[in-house]
Every structure is written in structure tokens, then in C-alpha cells.
Chains A and B, each alone.
Chain A
């Protein structure tokens, strides 16, 4: 139950700078998801927040208290580790009681809190088991229980779902989200999985090489990606990128096909070469001879919709189409971006160009 403020935060490992200067405000009770490719510094940032790594520059505030020099033990933060890091020699109950004992609570104060947290997470049946006697999913719950029971200022999660199988992952994802609404505690959740980010976050922080690329709600990040990196990282399958030349009020693709600029979300005027970005789900199948010719190479039926891998405008593109279309390999489709859904990016700066023609 505290806000977190990072001001020009710097973290180096030896002479390698992992976080070159990061600014971020996290509001009280907010659920923030840090997302980015592996090695971009997400764990490092989380460990800096937890106090497990020293800060090399800038300020870190929890609430209105500067905590740069405060050791992890005194930050009143709970963390769920990727490998859960349960204490192997303690029972589940002892694991959960440990932090409370460290804070000097009596056994009488601890017991009801464990019961409550155990009930919340459905782990009562194995409170007296050791971690070794639990399944992966159960361990994951215990790790969360150990965090919840503390009622901390901030929860930190470092890829806590990555060791679960796909089905369980989806389930726990929903549970964590429900839990966050119930607990009303500030949460910072790290993942490399954009689906986790989209489904759970109040706000997503997209990172690349230690630098924040964009901060926004899942909708904002999906609908108005700040640059090529965010556009390609968020959304699955990834956004298609096609090089185009601006010709008056039309965009000319590599294969010579033309698209009217009025379809674009951004202002093309004043630019020469641009990168056109179209999400697979934002392609529309249009009449023969219109839009872009696409020769189907592979069809992936997903049930609710069908993914079509096609060769269009000189490259591989993916389109999400209705299964009623019954596309087949070798067939030619004509595709056009849905109005207002195609994005324009400056190929030099990789920044998205918004409707005013300015780079945003």
C-alpha cells in the first residue's frame, strides 16, 4: 500500500550498464507489469526495488520515503521468485510464518493470518507438508501465500508463472488478477510474456535494453504502440511491417499495389519512405484486384479464427481471418487494412507517427 517512484535510476554490473537511467511512477494499489524480451533488465529492476541489488544512481522512493540505502529486510516488500525459493527445511506453515516471526509477531498473532491466507489460496490441506512434497502449482501457491500473509507495502513477482504448464498458467493468471483486486496492494509483475502483461496489468511498462519504451494501459499499448519495438512485441502473432513510399495521398508497396492514406491512423504527408504496420487481426479480405494480393502459404485454423500465412508485397505476412472463409494453401486473397487500424512508423527513428503527423 504505497506508491513507488523511480527517478533517473541507474544500475550497473561492473562496467556494464543494465539500466541507464529510468523514470517511472507507480501509483498506490496499481498493478504494473514490466514486460520485455529476456535480458532487458526486468529482473534487475525488480531486484533493485526489493533491495537485493545496490542502486548506482538516481532515487528510489517507496511512499514518500527515499529507500536507496534501505536494506531488503527493512523495505516491507514481498517477492515471489521465479523458482519460488521456498525454504526446503520448513513446512508450508513455517514458510509462511517465517517473515512474521522475523517481525516479532507472536504465535497467536501469526496463526490466524496463515489460516486466512491459506484459505484465500486453497492451500490448507498441505500446510504441514514440506515443499518437496508439493507439485509445481502447489509450490507456486505457497510462494504467493508466503507473500500475501505478510500484508506488505508492495508485491514483487519475477516471472512466477513461467514454471507452470500452459493450462495452469492461464488459471493462475486469472487468480492473481482477482487477488490483486481483493488485496489492493501495489504490485509489480515481471514477465517476458506479452499475454500475461495484457491480461493482468493496470498499466504495462515495455522495456528494451534497460530503457522504457512505453508506459500505458494494455489498450493504449496495443492500439497506439509508441514505436516499432512495442508494436512488434505486443500482440500475437506480431504486427506485420511493410515498407512503403508516400505518393500524394497513396502509399505504394513493394509490389506496386497502392493503399489510400485515409486508411491510416497516422498522417503520411510530409514523409517519403515509411514503415506500414498492420496487425494480423486488422486485415480485411476485400474484393479481387483491391488492396494487396496475398498468396497463401500456410493455413493455421485456431477454431475461433484462422491464421493465414501469405506472401504479400514481397514478404511473409500473417492475417487473422474468419474461419468461414475456409482459406486453402495456394489460394490468392486480397487484403486491405481496416480503416484507422494501420500504423505508420518513421523507419529512421522507428517512432510511430500519429494523426497530427508529428512523432509522438
Chain B
């Protein structure tokens, strides 16, 4: 085996330390959350924290008995999937057109909308939806969550489209292809992995966003993450139940990310390299 220059070994060392550090920062609360959800309620806040305990599903049982948990989960899915599809449906053509025409200011506007705090949209949305009597409807939530999903889809896909040699589109034009067909038959298949990445990111961000749901939903359309806030405050907080809810909430995005991690990484770095 060739020995590496010492500089490079130092860098490797630092790299490992940083990775471990990041791992600890990310994994500790996650592990805490998952473990706590399986502890008896009174042990959750015990100090020092118990590491060895008799696991119980008590918290999960309480959760499903005390709250319409399943229907909240379904609400979450409807809103998240709906807004993700909405984002793809409009974001993908928007990114294609922005890349084709090299007019990117709409994408910048979309990004700024994404950067702005959600409260910026919340009040106008609330007033508008109330006027058309849509508060509490799925559509109200799906549309507001599109504020999150659209910019994600556009910005993830833009470098993918930019990466396709222009001559391929031109060849299609010469071959008698209309712009819409170029989009569907040439461009979309060539950014398939980008579509997957953007769909997953949109799903995760939409799933995790609770602010809109807190204000714009009613008891029928409340999403999981907004509903979980019911556990806090009212009298004494049920930490065990909260941990169980949090674990369930965290599950879908984590699962998704685990399944597609390779795509995700290549997709994110593509964006980074192309700037």
C-alpha cells in the first residue's frame, strides 16, 4: 500500500473528527427522541437520563387512543403529496423554460419567496382563503405548501436542464418536435434523477412545515406535525406522547432520504457545482 503524504493524512484525520462531530450533533437528539418514545412517560424527563429501561409501546397506544392520529397522518400525506405534485407539475416546466430562455429572474423571485419567513405569506393567505371560504380545505394547505415545493423543484431542476447540451434540443427542433414535446420527450427523461431529487426534497420540506397548517387548517384537515403541538402546553406536557408523535413524524422523510441517498447527494452536488 502506498503511504500518503503526511499533509493528506492530517486532512483525513480532521475529516473524520468533523464527521463524528456532525454525526453526534445530528444523531444524539434523534436517538434521544426514539428511545424516549419507548420509555414509560415518567422516565422521559428523568435525570440523569436512563439508558437501560424496559421498552414499552405505551406512548404509541396513548397517542392513537387520545388523538385521531391516523387521520392527521392522512392529512399530512394529502397535503404533502399534493403540494409536491403541484410543485413538480408547475416547477419542472418553469425550470425548463428558465433554462431554455436563460431568463432566470422568475426563479430568483421564487427563491426569494422561499427564503422569506413563512409568516410573510401567512396573513395574506389567511385573509384570501377566508374570503373565498377555503380555510380548513386541503386546497388551501396544498397551495400554501406550494410556496415551499415550487422553488425547491425549480432550483433543483435548473442545473439539470442547464447541463443538457443545447444542440440536443436543437436537433429535436429540426426533427420536427414542438417545444412542449421537447420538454416531455427529451428534457424530462434526461432529468429523471433530478425529478426524483426535487420530489423528495419538496416532500420532506413540505412534510416538515407546520406553520401554515397551524393557521389554515381546521380539526378535519390538521396535519400531523401541527397536531403534535397539541401535546405541548395544555396543562402538563405529555413528553412520552410527544416523543412518540415526533418519531412517527420523522419516519417518512428519513426513510425516503435513506432510500434515495445516492441520488440525493449527486443531485445536491450538481446544484452546487453549477451554482
Residues of A within 8 A of B (CB): 50-52, 71-75, 77-79, 81-83, 85-89, 98-99, 102-103, 146, 150
Contacts and interface: CB of A to CB of B under 8 A. Distances in A.
Interface string B189-232: 11000000000000000000000000000000000000000000
Contact of B172 (A74, A83, A87): A87
Contacts of A74: 176
B174 A50 contact: yes
Interface residues of B, number: 17
B170 A52 contact: yes
Contacts of A73: 173-178
Contact of A85 (B167, B177, B189): B167
A71 B186 CA distance: 18
Given A85-B165, A87-B186, A89-B190, A52 B173 contact: yes
A187 to B, nearest CB: 15
Contacts of A79: 170-171, 174
26 contacts: A52-B170, A71-B173, A72-B174, A73-B175, A73-B177, A73-B178, A77-B174, A79-B171, A79-B174, A81-B167, A81-B170, A81-B171, A82-B167, A83-B167, A85-B167, A85-B170, A86-B171, A87-B168, A87-B171, A87-B172, A88-B168, A89-B186, A98-B172, A99-B175, A103-B176, A146-B175
Nearest to A156: B174
Nearest to B167: A85
A269 B242 CA distance: 106
A78 B174 CA distance: 6
A82 B172 CA distance: 15
Interface of B: 165, 167-168, 170-178, 181, 185-186, 189-190
A77 B12 CA distance: 57
4 tightest A-B contacts by CB? A99-B175, A85-B167, A85-B171, A102-B176
Contacts, number: 61
A79 B190 CA distance: 21
Given A52-B170, A85-B167, A85-B170, A102 B189 contact: no
Contacts of A82: 167
A110 to B, nearest CB: 13
B168 A85 contact: yes
A71 B181 CA distance: 15
- Identify the interface centre among B173, B174, B185: most chain A CB within 10 Å of its CB: B174
Contacts of A88: 168, 190
Given A79-B170, A86-B171, A89-B189, 14 more contacts: A52-B170, A52-B173, A73-B176, A75-B174, A78-B174, A79-B171, A82-B167, A85-B171, A86-B168, A87-B171, A89-B186, A99-B175, A99-B176, A102-B176
Nearest to B179: A73
Contacts of A85: 165, 167-168, 170-171
A72 B169 CA distance: 11
Contacts of A51: 173-174
A88 B192 CA distance: 13
Contact of B181 (A52, A77, A102, A146): A102
Contacts of B172: 87, 98
Given A85-B165, A85-B167, A85-B168, A72 B173 contact: yes
A146 B167 CA distance: 14
A319 B186 CA distance: 54
Contacts of B176: 73-74, 99, 102-103
B170 to A, nearest CB: 5
A86 B168 CA distance: 7
Nearest to B173: A72
Contacts of B190: 88-89
Contact of A102 (B165, B167, B168, B177): B177
A51 B174 CA distance: 8
A112 to B, nearest CB: 19
Contacts of B173: 51-52, 71-73
- Identify the interface centre among A86, A87, A150: most chain B CB within 10 Å of its CB: A87
A276 B186 CA distance: 56
A345 B205 CA distance: 74
A151 B210 CA distance: 59
Nearest to A79: B174
Contacts of B185: 98
A60 to B, nearest CB: 15
B237 to A, nearest CB: 53
B203 to A, nearest CB: 25
A52 B170 CA distance: 7
B175 A102 contact: yes
A72 B174 CA distance: 5
Contacts of A89: 186, 189-190
B174 A83 contact: no
B24 to A, nearest CB: 42
Contacts of B171: 79, 81, 85-87, 146
A74 B176 CA distance: 6
B174 A52 contact: yes
A175 to B, nearest CB: 21
A102 B186 CA distance: 12
A103 B172 CA distance: 12
A145 to B, nearest CB: 13
Contacts of A50: 170, 174
Contacts of B174: 50-52, 72-73, 75, 77-79
Nearest to B166: A85
Nearest to B186: A87
